[in-house]
Amino acid sequence: MNRRQFLKVGAVIPAASASRAALAQAMAAPKPAPSWRTFQVTTRVEVKVDAKDAARGVTRAWLPVPSVESGYQRVLANDWSGNAATAKIVRDETYGAAMLYAEWPASVDQPVVELLSRVQTRDRAVDFAARPPEVEKLSPQARKLYTSPTAHMPLDGIVHEKMKAAIGSARTDVDKARAIYEWVVENTFRDPKARGCGLGDMKTLLRSGTLGGKCADLNGLYVCLCRAAGLPARDVYGVRVAKSQLGYRSLGAGTENITKAQHCRAEVYLGDLGWVPVDPADVRKVVLEEKATPLAIDDPLVRAARSRLFGSWEMNWLAYNTACDIALPHAREPGRIYLMYPQGETATGTLDSLDPDNFRYTITARETQA
């Protein structure tokens, strides 16, 4: 058994009531409260290897590790066990994203590794009328990183055109960030056919002309347009760990099994306010999934979510990392647009990270006492 520990501080949005009107009212009016919630998250990978395959060789796995330290999340510990010959936490050099790297020789017929993470979270909400007492300063290097294009996030051409259309006459950074948020909510849709959290490939999304996808697509688009406008912005990749205390069925994990509950969010850096949480993709999730039939964009539940999700996050969700176009050490195909799901490979090729039943991994979460 190995162990690593991490730490830091944050701000909460409380629970709401059951009726539709009260639910919408609570969603629209966050009231921060100073309490932390503790979650224990277990990621278990059992790689299926064909013992009769004489050509088989090394098996590898990469498990995302909660590594974001902020005012809304502190990581208490990451422990792991299993039968890997090598198992260690490694970090991406650019973003500091942590992952558990495990490796098994050909002699191991049933590779197993289990990661146990203990994380505390508390809800966050930005008061746009007041400067917070402590604001994370953005270094010149970080500003450059979070305003630059990436392999899957161009900032010129059609991106620049969409950004200009989105910001309109907005002049201040806050107004630009809000205008882009409203534009993404109005001009995109959640596509139930997209696999997992979507591709997160802005080139593909914008060239499609339809602007449909999942959270990595829609929140990725928000980040892309903000960067094109000169605003530092980043995706935050994670997983939902509990039901929404606000009563939104679509914005939480329904059971302790969170194997398919991954969710990407976004942040934009706004001067005296620091990193501001946003989530236009979840507004579109409420539209499509909150009720048995899609809701209208002006439904009270959608309006409340739309108002709240520019500037706040309910932290029934934990953050893994902010890395995009991340390289996996020792992988045959090292590049990934994001690291939000367990990754793996055998001698026969890369495993499908969006097919946990055949890749054979499970993720569970339960709330515990601190």
Q: Report the distance separating Cα 360 and Cα 358, nearest Å.
A: 5
Among 49-53, 194-198, 262-266, 321-325, which stretch is predicted with the lowest mean pLDDT? 49-53
Same domain for 197 and 343, yes or no, is no
The pLDDT value recorded for residue 148 is: 97
Among 53-67, 235-249, 284-298, 326-340, which stretch is predicted with the lowest mean pLDDT? 53-67
Is residue 9 within 8 A of residue 335, CB to CB? The reply is no
163-211 pLDDT, tens digit each:
999 999 999 999 999 999 999 999 999 999 999 999 999 988 988 889 9
Is 6 part of a structural domain of the chain?
no
pLDDT, mean over the chain: 90
Same domain for 246 and 169, yes or no, is yes
How many CA atoms lie within 13 Å of 202's alpha carbon, on the beta-carbon side?
A: 27
DSSP 133-177: S--PPPPHHHHHHTTS-BTTB--STHHHHHHHHHHTT--SHHHHH
Across residues 332-352, what is the average pLDDT?
A: 93
223: buried, middle or exposed (CB in 10 Å: 19+, 13-18, 0-12)?
buried
* Residue 370 pLDDT greater than 80, yes or no: no
Same domain for 187 and 240, yes or no, is yes
The model's confidence at residue 57, banded by pLDDT at 50, 70 and 90, is confident
Please provide the size of the chain in residues: 370
Direct distance between the N- and C-terminal alpha carbons of the chain, in angstroms, rounded to an integer: 21
Is 220 part of a structural domain of the chain?
yes
The pLDDT value recorded for residue 149 is: 96
Give this prediction's pTM.
0.90
Same domain for 304 and 176, yes or no, is yes
Is 50 part of a structural domain of the chain?
yes
| Residue 314, CA distances (Å) to 36, 73, 81, 174 in order | 12, 12, 31, 21
105-164 pLDDT, tens digit each:
988 889 999 999 999 999 999 999 888 778 889 999 999 999 999 999 999 999 999 999
| Residue 79, CA distances (Å) to 39, 282, 312, 340 in order | 14, 31, 30, 18
The helix/strand/coil state of 370 is: coil
Same domain for 162 and 310, yes or no, is yes
Same domain for 144 and 291, yes or no, is yes
Number of domains comprising the chain: 2
In terms of residue numbers, what domain contains 226? Answer: 135-320
Supply the CATH number for residue 47's domain. 2.60.40.2250
Same domain for 296 and 158, yes or no, is yes
Residue with tokens 């688009």: 221
37-54 pLDDT, tens digit each:
999 999 999 998 766 554
15-25 pLDDT, tens digit each:
333 455 555 55
Is 356 part of a structural domain of the chain?
yes
Is residue 131 within 8 A of residue 273, CB to CB? The reply is yes
* Residue 10 pLDDT greater than 50, yes or no: no
Is residue 26 within 8 A of residue 301, CB to CB? The reply is no
Supply the CATH number for residue 248's domain. 3.10.620.30
The model's confidence at residue 33, banded by pLDDT at 50, 70 and 90, is low
